[in-house]
Amino acid sequence: MAQTPQQRRANLKFAKDQEARRGKSEDQLKKRVKVATKSPISPIWLILLAFVVFGGLIFEVISRIFLR
């Protein structure tokens, strides 16, 4: 069965990764582990921002309904 272009790209990527691993110890390979990128804003600040924005929106809707 012939390879599709997508399979061919995946096989080339896998082969390239395997070639880069050859001759290296486990310690050197563990250093290659990618670190997940952190958000520049902490979750506490995101929650506070959401509270201010949505709290203000809810207050505005309530004031328009009851305080016409």
Instruction: Let me know if residue 30 belongs to a domain.
Output: no
Structural domain total, the chain? 1
68: containing domain: 42-68
Instruction: Let me know if residue 64 belongs to a domain.
Output: yes
Instruction: Let me know if residue 18 belongs to a domain.
Output: no
Residue 6's pLDDT is: 94
Instruction: Let me know if residue 58 belongs to a domain.
Output: yes
Instruction: Let me know if residue 53 belongs to a domain.
Output: yes
DSSP characters over the chain: -PPPHHHHHHHHHHHHHHHHHTT--HHHHHTTPPPPPPPSS-HHHHHHHHHHHHHHHHHHHHHHHH--
Residue 53 near residue 60 (C-beta atoms within 8 A)? no
pLDDT digits (tens, 9 = 90+) for 1-57: 788 999 999 999 999 988 888 888 887 777 766 667 788 889 999 999 999 999 989
Instruction: Let me know if residue 48 belongs to a domain.
Output: yes
